[in-house]
Structure 1
Amino acid sequence: MPFVKARRLVAVAAAALLAGSLAPAPPALAADPAYQVLVFSKTAGFRHDSIAVGTQAVRDLGAANNFTVTATEDAAAFTTTNLARFKAVVFLNTTGDVLDATQQSAFEAYVNGGGGFVGIHSAADTEYNWPWYGQLVGAWFASHPAIQQATVRVENRAHPATAHLPRSWTRTDEWYNYRTNPRSSARVLASLDEGSYSGGTMGDHPIAWCRTQSSGRAFYTGGGHTQASYSDAAFRAHLLGGIRYAAGWAKADCRPETGYTTLYDGSTTGWSQAGPGGFTNTDATLSSFGGLGTYWYSAKEFRSYSLKLDWRLAGDDNSGVHIGYPASSSPWSGTRDGYEIQLDATDVPERTTGAVYAIKAPDVAARDAALNPPGSWNTYEILVQGERVQVFLNGVRVNDFTNTDPARSLQQGYIGIQNHGTGDDVSFRNIRVKELTTGSVTVEGESYTSSSGVQIANHAPASGGRTLGYINNGDWAGYSQVSTAGRTGFSARISSGGAGGTIQIRSGSSTGTLLGSVTVPNTGGWETFQTVSTTLNGTGTGPLHLVFTGGSGSLFDVDTLTVSGG
């Protein structure tokens, strides 16, 4: 029999949450494998006097963190062969048009194929006539006031570029206003408090963010105008985290995020402890002690929702996140009457990180590729839609489970986090939830369970960076996890640089009852998405099937789809 690590048990006793204690420092992280970074600082407009010290700062970071820096202002470095040497390319205070068409094509292929991009400050004042670059950097420069001190609100304290920062970071720099707000296409890491300085014009004012671009990764920070920035230890760590993310060594969920309600970000109002032990509450971080216990959000039950939270294990530790937790003083209710999404990377598959504990193992290969090591922060999204649970680790889906036990229905219950026992050290940050519309189910287009002709396509602006693609006339896709029973509405987020066409919504099979159809237009490009919708006749009984019709060639892509009613 395979060895199964025993769960450490502690007798259940009354416990109280201890606030204000300092959590133990996380262990030092293992060094990244050796890699190379290209720093590019060509200017065709304003030239910053901080370029030289900025370049040296990146060299210093490389010497201390196992990467080698090549610095250049020669655009001839942008060839397919040369770029392949580098894990990340840093645009350090570039300005104006710095690459010709051939060089642009080489850089696009590099990033789309999995390369990393780091933009510093006036990287946003670069290449205004190159739409792909505007998408990559996230937003272009509009204006700036005088150099002055401002308060930076750190929104994401799990990303390696911002995990070390306090929630409120005061520093002096030249603060850009941008032509557009990147929040809808990137994960905002930090924003400016416009009330803390003069000259902000955006209201909601992102200043650092990350995003995916096809198979590549992009990080941008608006800081870095001044020479003093590059001797600031916190700013240097900010740059290092961005470089490590862009290079692919540090994982993060960089999907856009809006509409979430905070359950915990420093305040423990609404939370209750079941069982012994508990969590200290310091620096908007919950850190476990003792147990076996569950700290659960007792203020509200949740049914269909997206739950996100950031977590860190100190070492080989054990914890979990409870869903469908009944109102109870017993921590065992989380695994007996609800479900636990496990945290423990070294246990057997059905009890490891990403598992529905003792029920369903994660996709271990996908999990391993998405997981940051002990001492680093990770992000879970636990997506509950009806009785279906999908688990995303740092933006990558690692588990997909559907409950069939009526006694453990996920359409009732609370959420909670586990303090497993003495020696199991786990911390949580930024617990937030977005409730989904009752009666609607949304799934990724690429989550089909049967198909003909279609394939998965990579598109950075899509949810999760992928779509249902390569759709031709007569192709179809089936979704056994989505019932059409009683459904009266259908919508899909689509893109098309091709002929467009029609989506037929059918019940049971690709030739089953036609419930409705919707026209898909050409949206102007494969990276340009819009939503189409239609009513359904409500006569469905079986699993959802989509049939695609139209002219010749590739018709359109499907990002996400939603059925409502029923």
Structure 2
Amino acid sequence: MRRLLRPLLGAATAVLAVLACTTPATPASAADAPYDVLVFSKTAGFRHDSIAVGTQAIRDLGAANNFTVTATEDAAQFTTANLSRFEAVVFLNTTGDVLDGTQQSAFESYIGAGGGYVGVHAAADTEYGWSFYGNLVGAYFASHPHIQQANVKAENRAHAATAHLPQTWTRTDEWYNYQTNARSTARVLATLDESSYSGGSMGADHPHSWCKTYSGGRSFYTGGGHTQASYAEPAFRAHLLGGIRYAAGRAKADCRPETGYTPLYNGSTTGWSQAGPGSFSNADATLTSVGGMGLYWYSAKQFTNYSLKLDWRLAGDDNSGVFIGFPASSDPWSAVNNGYEVQIDATDAADRTTGAVYTFKSADIAARDAALNPPGEWNTYELLVEGERLQVFLNGMKINDFTNTDPVRSLAGHIGLQNHGTGDDASFRNIRIRELGVNPPGGNTVQAEAFSSASGVSPFTKAGANGGQTLGHIDPGDWAAYAGLDLTGTTSLRARVVSGGPGGTLQVRTGSATGTVLGSVAVPNTGSWTTFADVTAALSGVPSGTGTLYLTFTGSGTGLFDVDDFTLVRSGGSGGVGPIRGLGGKCLDVRNAATADGTQIQIYGCNGSAAQTWTVTPNSTVKALGKCLDVSGGASADGTKIQLWTCNGTGAQNWSAQADGTLKNPQSGKCLDVSGNNPADGQAVHLWTCHTGANQKWTLP
């Protein structure tokens, strides 16, 4: 209602194709519940001669895959009542302005009610003056060269539209250039390799097919489908079928925008090691489990705060899991005993089924069931680790939120894939990670759209938003709740907001959406719906421990503002994740980033590495690299070595930040001290009688 695209002008020209569609329909990998599809092919500009064969191809797909097809070029069919009959509407090579204002409103309501949209080729050359449509399709047509062969690069091989494709898909079609890059608002599924043909104008990043959620509905677009011959190609027909299944809600996918990830595996196994029996085969950029019980783990690096994404598929009733937070070891049981497993098998008990933190916390089963694709189809996990909090997303939907409180375990450490045993066939693709760096003082930043419950608001895909989405559609009286947050020591809340509307007030509450107000802050009009700003609410009376925080919203009018993310800011020394700074501004450091028990702790120039990223739990442990800051032997003599050691819950690993800036080990009554009061890189730290000198002063995250 308030996020507008500039009206854009353009028209496509096209050339003719002569091959007819004769290839039989390609079935989906699992039987879908019946559904209905409307194919709309009205043109007010160039008319493609492939419309008839394209329509017939979709009819063939429907006959083979349990959906009915109604084809029309009558825009009068766009009424609220009629559209409600269909799970998806396909705009098949439409051009120009094809709907009037009333029909546009009906289609907007249809999408808002959870409807699906499929855009094929010239659907991007349609309705340039209708901003809702432009946002829905994702990008408008700009130009095209002549029909020719090109290489399509399958970027996401988990989506139903692209899972069947090779990494490089070579075919002939008319290749569109677009006025904008869809990547900022959609999950790109495939790109064009401009070096493989002539006439591309978008450069190294040329999206060709993508998916997104928008205004409550689902959208899929493919730039293919100009020629008649396209609809005779089995791979293109399967591509089109997958897009229809996604738009109709029959195939689930993570269609959130994705940038900034580094591949850990996309065909190359560099950095990976096998622990225990069995192995993984590696073919077509796909790892497939063989025998076991073993663990294929990424031994090249440990991770502390990160978003890990990976695509997985089970062949049937099989078993596997993703392990995180374990120390380096050639024993696969080390991961079981020291880390956490996020389960994949959907057939076990609630605390050990898909999305469960195995034996520790069940997934939200209803949410899991709504997001899960069946055996034989690909699924996507995001494991979001922020300090000792783990959130599990399945195909873009949050299904678990777990906080580690066990002092012997940590979420920081290595990651790995389980090969469970003979007959348990699990495959993995496109394992990638985005390291989040050090959190601001006071704890983890929360993506506002990742609420646990809400009223009135919904996620909104937006360029410039951290994570690709904001908490949008905020009106007076709306609210959002966030469960499982560590509130201990929180003194303020900092929120990233955006508003081209009237603005309003953000209130912070506990207990319920009408509970005690801890603080509030006015949110102004920031200048536009693309201009972000930070606001801060001072908080008082915040309860300690883990709890649920409520954001509530007041103001006048509608469309007040969006919230991108928020950070709970704590007073110094009350816990968090990040560097511990001491003498000479140097950072507490694990020598050589080693993880062996007994590794010396030292100070060193701050560099942001995992060896200097500490998770501080108030009056408890201080952890790095999955292990604990430890007083050697639990001794109390001045000069006792301070080392890294497997977390064991003893008093030798208990630390308490003091008001005078010291970090005390209560068991010994002595303090963490820089040996010899020397700020040189590599200077060891040890235990010493507390005296509050500069070499005993520490700034904690």
Name the TM-score class by shorter chain. Answer: 0.7 to 0.9
Shift of 1:329: 1.2
Q: Report the AA paired with residue 444 of structure 1.
A: Q
Shift of 1:472: 3.5
Partner of 2:41: 41
Structure 1 residues 478, 434: CA separation in 2 closer, same or farther (over 3 Å shift)?
closer
CA contact (8 A) 2:460 2:469 kept: yes
RMSD across aligned positions (CA): 2.8
CA contact (8 A) 1:62 1:68 kept: yes
The DSSP-based 3-state class of the residue aligned with 2:457 is: strand
Partner of 2:212: 211
Structure 1 residues 446, 80: CA separation in 2 closer, same or farther (over 3 Å shift)?
same
Partner of 1:252: 253
Ranges in structure 1 where 5+ consecutive residues have no aligned partner:
1-26
Structure 1 residues 286, 539: CA separation in 2 closer, same or farther (over 3 Å shift)?
same
Partner of 1:383: 384
> What's the TM-score, normalizing by structure 1?
0.87
Q: Report the AA paired with residue 101 of structure 2.
A: A
Shift of 1:210: 0.3
Partner of 2:360: 359
CA contact (8 A) 2:372 2:379 kept: yes
Q: Report the AA paired with residue 563 of structure 2.
A: V
Q: Deviations over 1:164-185 (max 9, x none)?
A: 0011111111111101101010
Q: Report the AA paired with residue 378 of structure 2.
A: W
CA contact (8 A) 1:473 1:552 kept: no
Partner of 2:563: 558
Shift of 1:471: 5.2
Partner of 1:403: 404
Shift of 1:286: 0.1
Mean Cα displacement is larger for which, 554-563 or 146-155? 554-563
**In 2: Cα distance, 1:469 partner to 1:111 partner:** 15
1:443 aligns with 2:446: yes
Question: Where do residues 89-488 of structure 1 align in structure 2 (5 Å cutoff)?
Answer: 89-203=89-203, 204-410=205-411, 412-440=412-440, 441-445=444-448, 455-461=455-461, 467=471, 470=474, 472=476, 481-483=485-487, 485=489
Shift of 1:305: 0.5
Q: Deviations over 1:440-469 (max 9, x none)?
A: 42223365689xxx7252244266977376
CA contact (8 A) 1:92 1:122 kept: yes
The DSSP-based 3-state class of the residue aligned with 1:292 is: strand
Mean Cα displacement is larger for which, 485-494 or 62-71? 485-494
**In 2: Cα distance, 1:388 partner to 1:318 partner:** 25
CA contact (8 A) 1:305 1:435 kept: yes
Q: Deviations over 1:407-450 (max 9, x none)?
A: 1122x310111000011000000000001131242223365689
Q: Report the AA paired with residue 439 of structure 1.
A: N
Q: Report the AA paired with residue 426 of structure 2.
A: V
CA contact (8 A) 2:91 2:120 kept: yes
Partner of 2:495: 491
Q: Report the AA paired with residue 118 of structure 1.
A: V
Partner of 1:7: none
**In 1: Cα distance, 2:302 partner to 2:381 partner:** 19
CA contact (8 A) 1:157 1:165 kept: yes
**In 1: Cα distance, 2:474 partner to 2:53 partner:** 47
Shift of 1:197: 1.1
CA contact (8 A) 1:37 1:67 kept: yes
Structure 1 residues 386, 46: CA separation in 2 closer, same or farther (over 3 Å shift)?
same
**In 1: Cα distance, 2:452 partner to 2:225 partner:** 48
> What's the TM-score, normalizing by structure 2?
0.71
Structure 1 residues 227, 523: CA separation in 2 closer, same or farther (over 3 Å shift)?
farther
Partner of 1:55: 55
Shift of 1:495: 4.6
Shift of 1:492: 2.0
Shift of 1:32: 1.1
Question: Where do residues 510-529 of structure 1 align in structure 2 (5 Å cutoff)?
Answer: 510-512=516-518, 517=521, 519-521=523-525, 528=529
Shift of 1:60: 1.1
The DSSP-based 3-state class of the residue aligned with 1:307 is: strand
Partner of 1:21: none
Structure 1 residues 320, 148: CA separation in 2 closer, same or farther (over 3 Å shift)?
same
Partner of 2:86: 86
**In 1: Cα distance, 2:93 partner to 2:445 partner:** 41
**In 2: Cα distance, 1:257 partner to 1:446 partner:** 15
Shift of 1:562: 3.3
Shift of 1:49: 1.0
Structure 1 residues 477, 355: CA separation in 2 closer, same or farther (over 3 Å shift)?
closer
CA contact (8 A) 2:185 2:468 kept: no
Partner of 1:24: none
Which structure has the larger Rg? 2
Partner of 1:17: none
Q: Report the AA paired with residue 113 of structure 1.
A: A
Q: Report the AA paired with residue 99 of structure 1.
A: L
CA contact (8 A) 1:120 1:223 kept: yes
CA contact (8 A) 1:496 1:557 kept: no
Structure 1 residues 399, 43: CA separation in 2 closer, same or farther (over 3 Å shift)?
same
Mean Cα displacement is larger for which, 308-317 or 435-444? 435-444
Q: Report the AA paired with residue 378 of structure 1.
A: N
**In 2: Cα distance, 1:241 partner to 1:206 partner:** 18
Partner of 1:19: none
CA contact (8 A) 1:455 1:469 kept: no
**In 1: Cα distance, 2:533 partner to 2:483 partner:** 19
The DSSP-based 3-state class of the residue aligned with 2:323 is: strand
**In 2: Cα distance, 1:449 partner to 1:61 partner:** 38
Mean Cα displacement is larger for which, 283-292 or 78-87? 78-87
Shift of 1:82: 1.1
Partner of 1:23: none
Shift of 1:29: 3.2
Shift of 1:557: 3.8
Structure 1 residues 507, 533: CA separation in 2 closer, same or farther (over 3 Å shift)?
farther
**In 2: Cα distance, 1:384 partner to 1:347 partner:** 25
The DSSP-based 3-state class of the residue aligned with 1:208 is: strand
**In 2: Cα distance, 1:103 partner to 1:435 partner:** 45
The DSSP-based 3-state class of the residue aligned with 1:142 is: strand
Q: Report the AA paired with residue 160 of structure 1.
A: A
CA contact (8 A) 2:504 2:556 kept: no
Shift of 1:490: 2.5
CA contact (8 A) 2:291 2:421 kept: yes
Structure 1 residues 427, 337: CA separation in 2 closer, same or farther (over 3 Å shift)?
same
**In 2: Cα distance, 1:538 partner to 1:329 partner:** 47
**In 2: Cα distance, 1:537 partner to 1:81 partner:** 49
Structure 1 residues 78, 236: CA separation in 2 closer, same or farther (over 3 Å shift)?
same
Q: Report the AA paired with residue 420 of structure 1.
A: H
**In 1: Cα distance, 2:423 partner to 2:483 partner:** 43
Mean Cα displacement is larger for which, 539-548 or 148-157? 539-548
**In 2: Cα distance, 1:561 partner to 1:271 partner:** 35
**In 2: Cα distance, 1:100 partner to 1:192 partner:** 34
1:501 aligns with 2:504: yes
